[in-house]
Amino acid sequence: MKSFLSVQKEKIIVFDGATGTHLQGQGLTADDFGGEHLNGCNEYLVVSCPGAVENVHRDYLQAGCDVIETNSFGSTSIVLTEYGLEARAYELNLKAAQIASRMAREFSTPEHPRFVAGSMGPTTKLPSLGHIKFKLMAAAYKEQARGLIEGGVDLLCVETCQDVLQSKAALCGIFEFFEESRSRLPVIVSVTVETMGTLLLGTEISAALVSLEPYDVDVIGINCATGPKEMSEHVRVLTASSPKPIFVMPNAGIPENIGGHAYYSLTPEELTNYLSHFVHDLGVSVVGGCCGTTPQHIQKLVEAVGGLAPQKRDVDFVPSASSLYQAIPLQVDPPPVLIGERTNANGSKQFRDLLAHEDWEGIVAMGREAAREGAHMVDVCAAYVGRDEACDMREILYRFNTQVQLPIVIDSTEAPVIEEALQLIGGKAIVNSINLEDGEERINRVVPLCKKYGAAVIALTIDEKGMAKRAEEKLAIARRIYDLVVGKYKMRPHDLIFDTLTFTLGSGDEEFRRAGIETLNGIRLIKKELPEVKTLLGVSNISFGLNPQARHVLNSVFLHYAIEAGLDMAIVHASKIMPLYKIDEKGRELARQLIFDERKFEEAAA
Ligand code: THG
């Protein structure tokens, strides 16, 4: 029998329709649910009344769908605890999978294989709002995945995601199970865009895509909340920018409240017309029905698109980072991506003082100020002698995740701190940084975390001999790191950002007179030799030791030349960067001579 993925490549896949509506229509009694205390717990029906669940599956299989979903939407221990059933999570998932698999086998033929998707709902908790810890949530999903997989599902469907951090927890749990069991099934991850046009917590669909796309999932999509019409623009965003196949499973319209019941008004023809349009014109390749859809809806859908080959899509994939709210490309026009430097215990006295007083709201205010000043992202460093960095990062990032609109750059060298941080951020973060100072050890610890949590990574051109001074050395280290990060760990090159680092030109030290030139040439060489990677600089390093006015001038002029050399991203104090025309001629020229080691200015000063 063909695998789900091989069929998925060849033809449009049609999922089943609503489970809840169908079960309701069967007129089940409290006894069917296993007693008054379990009345309404659909997930328990796999034990108390498996026939009702079989009825749902059979009707959809008869309607001709390719995939049925297990009756396990709420079968994580997190949800089941409401019925005192948390200890039976594994069993309920196992049974749900066994029932669906048996039904699918009954209907499967070599010409029309039927598959079972393990349904994994969003639970009732939002980790971004602190309802539950990431690790606990991941563990619950891992248990659900184990039950579903051991019960025989063909793929997993993480659906109806409202908080991207919840989907990340689900994927972490699932991929941990894959790793431990040395197994791998296809995975679909599907988010829910509310009528207001974002996910429940305010996430734009493009931001959700950026956060979830780095995971090793096979299909990405949207389901629930609205009908297909309201989804159109979001579907367009996904099909235009997702390298992965797109899944769309709308409700039969926006639910209307009629006499205290949810009523869904789209007819099978209406639902099918929209979905056919998505398939033919936008290149959606996996479709199905969510709330309010019936076997009649699915039958129409199968008649319209079943067996068709998926359309080719022109995908404009833009490597990006994201916050819980928005996506920001790793390359902007005009360059560079500005990363706020001030939320750093070593980079700002104000931040250090706020941290010492544990004034978290004050720290949030600094993060928001970075956004107001024009930063595209914000660098966060809580490494402060005598304090617990992991603890401080937790306090800060838990708040930044929901209260700061910008993607987060995690500035830490400690793997445990980085992992904690990654478990708090719903967006796609950037980890700052790795290097080869102690050989490959740090890379071996940090890069797997970046992969596991879908982050990009900044690599410094430092090796066992220290920080590279000459451009060619910077390139040589970059190549070595590239081979590890992209070659060994299989991260994508666009998620690797090289920082060619600079020593200060403010020390007057003879040894470092060429520091600026080498850094600029390093950027040029890396962009030329490794064209897919991004480049970054902590620009303010160039001017340590000078007075603040001189620093602003030198930083701004240096940034100008770095951009000319191909710089993509810069850690800066955004409001202190001046366009060249705003710097007086003399200051500009002095800075230029300092950067390019033209000793004229000494004569001039003499
Ligand atoms: N590359 C990468 N990450 C980095 C750096 C880099 N992270 C840290 C640093 N360098 C970039 N961040 C800063 C932050 C502040 C300053 C310089 C670099 C700075 N601050 C003023 C000072 O120290 O004089 C303080 C101003 C204040 O107190 O408000 O200069 O290179 N990947």
User: What is the distance in A from the centroid of ligand 1 to the CA of 540?
Assistant: 6
The residue whose CA has the least distance to atom 23 of ligand 1 is 347
Same domain, 505 and 425: yes
User: What is the distance in A from the centroid of ligand 1 to the CA of 279?
Assistant: 50
Mean pLDDT of the chain: 97
DSSP letter at 561? H
pLDDT tens string 97-109: 999 999 999 999 9
The residue whose CA has the least distance to atom 19 of ligand 1 is 347
Q: For position 606, what pLDDT does the model report?
A: 47
pTM score, whole prediction:
0.97
Residues 194 and 223: their CA atoms lie apart, in Å, by 10
pLDDT tens string 384-430: 999 999 999 999 999 999 999 999 999 999 999 999 999 999 999 99
Same domain, 276 and 408: no
Indicate the top mutation candidate among 497, 541, 542, 575 to test ligand 1's pocket, ranked by most ligand atoms within 8 A of CB. 541
Q: Flag whether 319 is in a domain.
A: no
User: What is the distance in A from the centroid of ligand 1 to the CA of 570?
Assistant: 11
Q: Flag whether 31 is in a domain.
A: yes
Same domain, 354 and 301: no
Please say whether the beta carbons of 189 and 217 come within 8 A: yes
pLDDT tens string 488-527: 999 999 999 999 999 999 988 899 999 999 999 999 999 9
Strands 327-329, 320-322: parallel, antiparallel or unpaired by DSSP? antiparallel
Same domain, 357 and 447: yes
DSSP sequence for 70-125: -S-TT-SHHHHGGGT-GGGHHHHHHHHHHHHHHHHHHH--SSS--EEEEEE---S-
The residue whose CA has the least distance to atom 15 of ligand 1 is 347
Same domain, 185 and 296: yes
User: What is the distance in A from the centroid of ligand 1 to the CA of 571?
Assistant: 8
The residue whose CA has the least distance to atom 31 of ligand 1 is 538
Tokens 């620009």: give the residue. 539
Indicate the top mutation candidate among 330, 343, 344, 378 to test ligand 1's pocket, ranked by most ligand atoms within 8 A of CB. 344
Q: For position 261, what pLDDT does the model report?
A: 87
Strands 246-249, 327-329: parallel, antiparallel or unpaired by DSSP? unpaired
Q: Flag whether 384 is in a domain.
A: yes
Same domain, 76 and 200: yes
Same domain, 292 and 342: no
Q: Flag whether 606 is in a domain.
A: no
Indicate the top mutation candidate among 342, 458, 540 to test ligand 1's pocket, ranked by most ligand atoms within 8 A of CB. 540
Point out the ligand 1 atom lying closest to the alpha carbon of residue 502: 31
Give the chain's domain count.
2
Buried/exposed 572-595: b ≥16 CB within 10 Å, e otherwise = bbbebbbeeeebeeebbbbbbebb
* Residue 497 lies in domain: 329-595
Checking if the pLDDT of 603 tops 70, the result is no
Output the domain CATH number for residue 67. 3.20.20.330
Q: What would the mean pLDDT of 292-312 be, rounded to a whole number?
A: 97
Residues 515 and 425: their CA atoms lie apart, in Å, by 36
Residues 373 and 368: their CA atoms lie apart, in Å, by 9
Between helix 89-107 and helix 50-63 the angle, nearest 10°, is 40
Output the domain CATH number for residue 415. 3.20.20.20
Q: Which of 159, 227, 226, 199 is closest to 15 using CA atoms? A: 159
Q: Which of 432, 255, 241 is closest to 327 using CA atoms? A: 241
Q: Flag whether 320 is in a domain.
A: no
User: What is the distance in A from the centroid of ligand 1 to the CA of 152?
Assistant: 53
Checking if the pLDDT of 469 tops 50, the result is yes
Please say whether the beta carbons of 238 and 209 come within 8 A: yes
User: What is the distance in A from the centroid of ligand 1 to the CA of 474?
Assistant: 21
Same domain, 334 and 297: no
3-state DSSP assignment of residue 371: helix
Q: Flag whether 604 is in a domain.
A: no
Indicate the top mutation candidate among 355, 379, 535 to test ligand 1's pocket, ranked by most ligand atoms within 8 A of CB. 379
Same domain, 461 and 549: yes
The residue whose CA has the least distance to atom 17 of ligand 1 is 540
Same domain, 282 and 346: no
End-to-end CA gap in the chain: 85
CB under 8 Å to 342, separation ≥6 — which residues? 348, 350, 351, 366, 369, 370, 573
User: What is the distance in A from the centroid of ligand 1 to the CA of 347?
Assistant: 4
Same domain, 164 and 284: yes
The residue whose CA has the least distance to atom 27 of ligand 1 is 348
Q: Which of 305, 338, 358 is the last residue of a domain?
A: 305
Q: Flag whether 443 is in a domain.
A: yes
pLDDT tens string 232-270: 999 999 999 999 999 999 999 999 999 988 899 999 999
Pocket, ligand 1, Cβ cutoff 6 A = 341, 344, 347-350, 379, 411, 432-433, 458, 460, 499, 501, 538, 540-541, 571
Q: Flag whether 276 is in a domain.
A: yes
3-state secondary structure string, 224-273? CCCCHHHHHHHHHHHHHHCCCCEEEECCCCCCEEECCEEECCCCHHHHHH
Q: 480 exposed, middle or buried (CB, 10 Å; 0-12, 13-18, 19+)?
A: middle
Same domain, 299 and 386: no
User: What is the distance in A from the centroid of ligand 1 to the CA of 539?
Assistant: 8
